[in-house]
Structure 1
Amino acid sequence: MTEKELMKKAIEAREKAYVPYSKFPVGAALLTKSGKVHTGCNIECASYGATNCAERTAIFKSVSEGDLDIDMIAVVGDENAYTYPCGICRQVIVEYGKNIKLIIGKSEEEYKVYTIENLLPHSFTPDDLEKNN
Structure 2
Amino acid sequence: MLPGALASGYFLGSVYDDLVIEINVYIKSFVYPRELDFAENSEDGLVLANTEKNKPFIDQLRNLYSFRVQLNNIPEYYNEQLRSKREAIGEVIKQNLHRMKKHQLMLFYRRPTTAHRTHHF
TM-score bracket relative to the smaller structure = under 0.3
Q: TM-score, normalised by structure 2?
A: 0.26
> TM-score, structure 1 length as denominator?
0.24
Structure having the higher helix fraction is 2
Structure number with the higher strand fraction is: 1
| Structure index of larger Rg | 2
